[in-house]
Structure 1
Amino acid sequence: MPELLLALDCGTTGARALLVDPAGAVLATVKQPIASHFPAPGRVEQDGEQVWSICLSVIGRALEQAGRSMRDVAAIGVTTQRSSTLVWDRASGRPLAPVLVWSDLRGMARYKQLRAAGFTLWPQVPAAKLEAALEMVPEAQARMARGDLCWGTLDSYLIHRLSGGGAHVTDVGSAWLSGYIDYPDRAAWNRALIAHQGLDGGMFPAIADSWGPLGTGDAGVLGAPVPITAVLADQQAGMLAHGGLAAGTWKATYGTSGVVMASAGARAVSPHRTVPIQALARVGGEVSWCVEGMVITCGAFITWLCGEMGMFADAAALSDAAASVPDTRGIVVRPSLQGLGAPHGRFHERALIAGLDAGGGRAHVARAALQGIAFRFKEVADTIAATPGLTVPDHFPVDGGVAASDALMRMQADALGRPVRRHKVREATAYGAAIAAGLGAGVLTPTDLPRFARYEAEFTPAMGRDQADAAYRAWARVALGGDGVTAPPV
């Protein structure tokens, strides 16, 4: 009888397949990079057909790595980067325009127009960019009128392809960050905005529960018919790896971008505008809520230093260099290659490296880069912690590839003034998608969730509070032009 859980996690820089048994043991994990293209300043695109091929490849290789076949899989869970936009042909599933990646800012002008017209959205969301994507589709209006087109975020696209065209769905977490949610309803598409843009509502995916029966993987695509039982946005999926959706659950993910998320449970709280309320998941028609803030550039900055700048062989070498010096020698880094996110919302800002002198070297730049990331996470965590009625845990749970850096985790503990706990499964987003698939298939129950919150290391503060706060203020005066965020520390 099939019992394994397969997660497909398609992120900004790569796709990963994770194969998990019901006890939570990871049997195989395979990741393959996805190339982004930058056709003009502020524009970020991917090839949707290449993304699909890579996803199929990692699934096949993960099964091969574990010595299993698709017939051993009980359920599939899908999680993807949020807010990326894609238009494809309903019949063939083939993309008709590039993927407009979430960090693409070509929608900036349209976002301002729609805001002025009374619609609530942000520059990166699909509502600001879908019209631009349709402009790249030949005869888009005629094809839309015939019902030939589908659009969605990557979760919708991949499930449509996996199911052989049988399912066109998303969940409330990804829908929330599309800009198309009807805020009074909070779990339905905004028909007024769709009409304002002259779009056909039939292009839109159905908003399904985050786990449960969603569709069936096509045997002609996968080799066997396997139930698809979970679809979650990437950051929301990661919450399951840290114990579930209950109010007071926190987690921070250090990936291409960085995210701090805290669950508010069934209550939609009212946080600071730059760390907005988000839909966390919907199960049985009931929505769970969370507060989230984004550090727009995290791992992407490290990749830039290693790749484009050629300063280090890889992220591990950068981390080792950072740990080899006791301080930054006055060098300050603001890791904001594509805007300064929460709690500032200054999307026009770009990265900064300041304070260089002849005595500074690559190791000091490396340490300053990690310090800048740690301080950006501190800003978001402190702002979220100031949300009235939100429980703050006594530790900071983390995951993600960049969290592999012990040097960064030590700096993070110092900046926050509380212990940092690193999840045993670094790929917590994919792990959460596998857990959700198990919930949707009935292989797991909600009472099983706490046992998946497994931590491999804890980093405790080594710096006094006054010293840590002074270091942050010194950084903020250069990086932000002031003393930084005034929210009370956690």
Structure 2
Amino acid sequence: MKYIIGIDQSTQGTKAVLFDGDGAVVYRADVPHRQIVNEKGWVSHDPEEIYRNVIRAVRKAVEESGISREQLAAVGISNQRETTVLWDDRGCPLNHAIVWQCNRAETVVERLKDSGDTVCERSGIPLSAYFPAAKMAWLMENVVSGLSGDTKLHFGTVDSWLLYRLTKNHLYKTDYSNASRTQLFNLQTLTWDSELCRLFGIPMEALPEVCDSNSCFGTTDFEGLLEKEIPILSMLGDSHGALFGQGCHESGMVKTTYGTGSSVMMNIGENFVRSQNGLATSLAWGIDGRVTYVLEGNINYTGAVITWLKEDVGLIASPGETEGLALQANSADTCILVPAFTGLSAPYWKGDAKAVLAGMSRTTGRAEIVRAALDSIAFQVTDVLKAMEQDSGCGLQELRTDGGPTKNKYLMQMQSDLADVKVSAAGQEELSAMGAAYLAGLTAGIYRRESLFSRMEYRTYAPEMPEEIREAKYAAWKKAVSMTF
């Protein structure tokens, strides 16, 4: 039997997931990496550590699964997206990677605010420090300016960095999904945009070649783990991988990935649509020479809110406690948390917003605050879904969900109630790796599309909340949001 390995390099760590010839998960290996946060709140990762962890995770998956190394047929890579890496032609990082959450490039955005409409029209993305263009500009001004003039620069998202290091001839490529999130890629010409590069001060020669998401990106032996190199046959941003893995291949289908942050993504087909309601337009993927567009809203703090409850305020010992506490909370309590710890992203785009805990009373205690934290995840996703309905002109029929927080039945029911839509929570956990592996397996001719996606299992939730209660809760949420500005 042939096996596909899906590498999911995410914000918190790296997963290497083995899939068999039927697309079933055989083994999963996880390796975490450091979250480097300084006194200014800047969030960084060590690119060298990330690369080494990819090798460690793949080695662990292959050796501990017991499969023969000769049975590995292909690799698919999914990656944390907007995190930005800078390296030289030897493959040496020139700085720590700037993580997507990091707001240090806000000064660049402020300087370019008069060009915001041009940026959005060309890239499909509202001007924000969230995206790599501003992060690259910050690196140009604060790191590159101190380097010798003959240093050859390579800017990229994590996929490009990994490909460069995994391939012995240092191939320098990215795919359409990742390129579309940089804010330097023109979504209508499907090329790097010279005007955007000029605005941000990024040399175009320092950007990778953009390829179809199911290209043969190169070959690797994972630093001698394999006797024979195998092809890397897909690269996708993690949210795009989850969209593909969820089977959202038709226009109008929507999924939400609940991770550290969340990506809410709607497939809108083969035509570019510019959002009028605070969303980004991106490319889902490019496959066999044809691209598919998506509307997307990104949220900074969803799963990270649960981490905050545990590690920063000590209200829980483990994420598993949140469901029970939420159900115990006083139903009459009106406490609302807006987790704008690093500003608000879609659909508000307020980088200077501050988090608030509003509506507290004497009944507000530990359980009520934990419930408010879970509710804040569902409220933020609902904000984005409402904007999608306005931009697309069609009502949502179903929301497919994935990620660790989807195990929380309280959260999923609240999501269904607040958004007034059927929620289908995927039983599988490795959707990003799955999407990348499935695309690689399809490209290799190992999988058949018609049977592959029928394997998905879902737990469904239907709206139960009366309309007047839903509207009152949402109005209170909007009022609390306004307090953060």
The residue number in structure 2 matching 1:52 is: 51
Equivalent in 121, 129, 132 of residue 123 of structure 1 = 129
The reply on whether 1:136 has 2:143 as its aligned counterpart is yes
2:400 partner amino acid: P
Identity of aligned residues (%): 28
Equivalent in 313, 318, 328 of residue 317 of structure 2 = 313
Verify the 8 A CA contact 2:389 2:396 in the aligned structure 1.
Answer: no
Verify the 8 A CA contact 2:166 2:222 in the aligned structure 1.
Answer: no
The reply on whether 1:414 has 2:412 as its aligned counterpart is no
The runs of 5 or more residues in structure 1 that have no matched partner are 483-490
Q: 1:134-181: per-residue Cα shift (whole Å, max 9, x none)? A: 43358635234xxx3322100100111111343211111111111111
Following TM superposition, by how much is the alpha carbon of 1:475 offset from its aligned partner in structure 2, in angstroms?
2.8
Following TM superposition, by how much is the alpha carbon of 1:229 offset from its aligned partner in structure 2, in angstroms?
0.3
Q: How does 1:217-296 map to 2 (within 5 A)?
A: 217-218=220-221, 220-224=223-227, 225-296=229-300
Verify the 8 A CA contact 1:243 1:449 in the aligned structure 2.
Answer: no
The residue number in structure 1 matching 2:109 is: 111
- 470-479 or 252-261, which deviates more: 470-479
Following TM superposition, by how much is the alpha carbon of 1:291 offset from its aligned partner in structure 2, in angstroms?
0.6
Following TM superposition, by how much is the alpha carbon of 1:284 offset from its aligned partner in structure 2, in angstroms?
2.2
1:34 partner amino acid: H
Verify the 8 A CA contact 2:5 2:16 in the aligned structure 1.
Answer: yes
How many residues were matched structurally?
Answer: 475
Q: How does 1:329-408 map to 2 (within 5 A)?
A: 329-390=333-394, 392-408=395-411
The reply on whether 1:102 has 2:104 as its aligned counterpart is no
Q: How does 1:4-153 map to 2 (within 5 A)?
A: 4-91=3-90, 93-116=91-114, 118-120=118-120, 121-134=127-140, 135-136=142-143, 140=147, 142-144=149-151, 148-153=152-157
User: Normalising to structure 2: TM-score of the pair?
Assistant: 0.92
Verify the 8 A CA contact 2:108 2:134 in the aligned structure 1.
Answer: yes
Whole-Å separation in 1 of the counterparts to 2:145 and 2:384: 42
Verify the 8 A CA contact 2:248 2:254 in the aligned structure 1.
Answer: no
Whole-Å separation in 2 of the counterparts to 1:481 and 1:131: 31
The residue number in structure 1 matching 2:124 is: none
Following TM superposition, by how much is the alpha carbon of 1:289 offset from its aligned partner in structure 2, in angstroms?
0.4
Any idea what SS the aligned residue of 1:288 has?
Answer: strand
2:138 partner amino acid: A
Any idea what SS the aligned residue of 1:376 has?
Answer: helix
Any idea what SS the aligned residue of 2:186 has?
Answer: coil
Whole-Å separation in 1 of the counterparts to 2:187 and 2:241: 22
Following TM superposition, by how much is the alpha carbon of 1:13 offset from its aligned partner in structure 2, in angstroms?
1.5
Verify the 8 A CA contact 1:164 1:221 in the aligned structure 2.
Answer: no
The reply on whether 1:164 has 2:168 as its aligned counterpart is yes
2:166 partner amino acid: L
Q: Once superposed, what is the RMSD of the aligned Cα atoms? A: 2.3
**Could you say if the C-alpha distance between residues 70 and 150 of structure 1 is closer, same or farther in structure 2, counting changes exceeding 3 Å?**
farther
Following TM superposition, by how much is the alpha carbon of 1:39 offset from its aligned partner in structure 2, in angstroms?
1.9
Q: 1:333-356: per-residue Cα shift (whole Å, max 9, x none)? A: 112222212222222112222233
Whole-Å separation in 2 of the counterparts to 1:109 and 1:273: 24
Verify the 8 A CA contact 2:188 2:272 in the aligned structure 1.
Answer: no
The runs of 5 or more residues in structure 2 that have no matched partner are 121-126
Any idea what SS the aligned residue of 2:234 has?
Answer: strand
Any idea what SS the aligned residue of 1:211 has?
Answer: coil
User: Normalising to structure 1: TM-score of the pair?
Assistant: 0.91
**Could you say if the C-alpha distance between residues 376 and 200 of structure 1 is closer, same or farther in structure 2, counting changes exceeding 3 Å?**
closer
Any idea what SS the aligned residue of 2:425 has?
Answer: strand
1:61 partner amino acid: K
1:133 partner amino acid: L
**Could you say if the C-alpha distance between residues 475 and 328 of structure 1 is closer, same or farther in structure 2, counting changes exceeding 3 Å?**
farther
Any idea what SS the aligned residue of 2:470 has?
Answer: helix
Whole-Å separation in 2 of the counterparts to 1:469 and 1:257: 25
Any idea what SS the aligned residue of 1:425 has?
Answer: coil
2:143 partner amino acid: M
Verify the 8 A CA contact 1:107 1:128 in the aligned structure 2.
Answer: yes
Equivalent in 216, 231, 241 of residue 213 of structure 1 = 216
- 43-52 or 392-401, which deviates more: 392-401
**Could you say if the C-alpha distance between residues 219 and 470 of structure 1 is closer, same or farther in structure 2, counting changes exceeding 3 Å?**
closer
Whole-Å separation in 1 of the counterparts to 2:134 and 2:187: 16
